[in-house]
Amino acid sequence: MTALTIAEIADQQAELLPQRDTMLFDINIAPVVAVNLAIAVNAATWGSTANATAVQLIGVLQH
């Protein structure tokens, strides 16, 4: 890597980028949906127990 000279720095040019109208509101939308599902059936039994294991699903969609 070589050092820049004053002349090379003076020769540099820059221009402004146009304004981005699509970023005017700067809105970030990320809906999140979470669902827990579990079922246990204990019908017509005497002295028994019913157990249920829950499954959790989470979905995120970011725009």
Distance between CA atoms of 25 and 17, rounded to whole angstroms?
18
Q: Give the pLDDT score at 25.
A: 66
Q: Give the pLDDT score at 37.
A: 86
Tens digit of each residue's pLDDT (9 = 90 or more) over 4-61: 888 988 888 888 877 766 556 667 778 888 888 888 888 877 888 878 888 888 888 7
Q: Give the pLDDT score at 43.
A: 80
